[in-house]
Amino acid sequence: MLKNVAAVLLDGVHPFELGVVCEVFGLDRGDEGLPVYDFAVVSAEGPELGTHAGFTIRATHGLERLAEADLIAVPAARSDRDRPYPPELLAALRQAVDRGARVLSVCSGAFVLGEAGLLDGRQCAVHWRYARELAVRFPRARVEPDVLYVDEGPVITSAGTAAGIDACLHIVRTEHGSEVANAIARRMVVPPHRDGGQAQYVERPLPATPCDTVGEVLAWLERHLDEEITVEQLAARAHMSPRTFARRFSQETGTTPYRWLLRQRVLRAQELLESTDETVDTVASRVGFGTAAALRHHFLRVLGTTPNTYRRTFQGPARAA
């Protein structure tokens, strides 16, 4: 169970990326029944560090604090990525993974994990501006240039800024269930979930309007997850041809209608398994999968576990929260 979290900083740290980690793991939300983490900010380069924004930060912990962490987060830092990283930091990250801890990079923090050898043979994400540089510098890493985040066992990598929020909430959801992750997201006033494979950015070939093209369709979809739905039906609701609708959907959401619907159904099933005692067959019917076998198939594919195992893991803690 995730209890101890450390954010490790290099000189030139980006305040937003650090703030994301602090907001998700560093706030005490115990009065709401939410997890409280033993959280620390650790310096890898002396007690006082400069930031990307021009002010300084003092960190009271040194690298020895990483030895107790269940999760070590590495926010984006200095722009001179060719300068060697502290070897003590790289060794501490390798030791953490060897003992079963997880490491998370936000944006260009992926270069630190790469230098430690933790991206070798793994899929990884980084801000699209740095994807080519990361791939050239670490040829054994399998860089995914346009996804929000990648969870490869103990190594989680995310793209820039807001994608770090998505990755942090993904970790919370994996550890504590969707109800806890959604509660933290509500406190942060951010969407409770964006799929890691979703595109980092969306195209807008036309000028943005006060209301996006597919927003009303998405709202309708969320209310009708239990129904058989086709792209043709959705296109008709949006008054478009199916081909135009599919293109605009992808441009405005960064994913396909099928993938979006599938992920929403799985998320809703997670919530029902945590918060109700309904049978798996009933849950499957309520979210549009039809049968328990179909729900099991998609659960295994998306979450790597079965509905019953998920319920046993998260129903008690979620209800207590």
CA distance readout (Å), 297 to 6, 174, 212, 262, 303: 36, 18, 33, 12, 10
Instruction: Classify domain 4-188 by CATH number.
Output: 3.40.50.880
User: What are the sequence ranges of the domains in the chain?
Assistant: 4-188, 215-254, 259-320
pTM of the model: 0.73
* Phi, psi angle pair for 41, to nearest 5°: -100, 125
Task: Tell me the residue type at 251.
Answer: Q
Residue 319 reports pLDDT greater than 50: no
> 135, 195, 129: which is closest to 159 by C-alpha?
129
Residue 197 reports pLDDT greater than 80: no
Does CATH number 1.10.10.60 belong to domain 259-320? yes
C-alpha 220: how far from chain center:
25
Residues 249-282 have pLDDT tens digits of 888 777 888 888 998 899 899 889 988 999 999 9
pLDDT at 189: 84
Residues 10-66 have pLDDT tens digits of 999 999 999 999 999 999 999 999 999 999 999 999 889 999 999 999 998 999 999
If pLDDT is split at 50, 70 and 90, which confidence band does 210 have? very low
Task: Provide the token pair at 57.
Answer: 């930060």
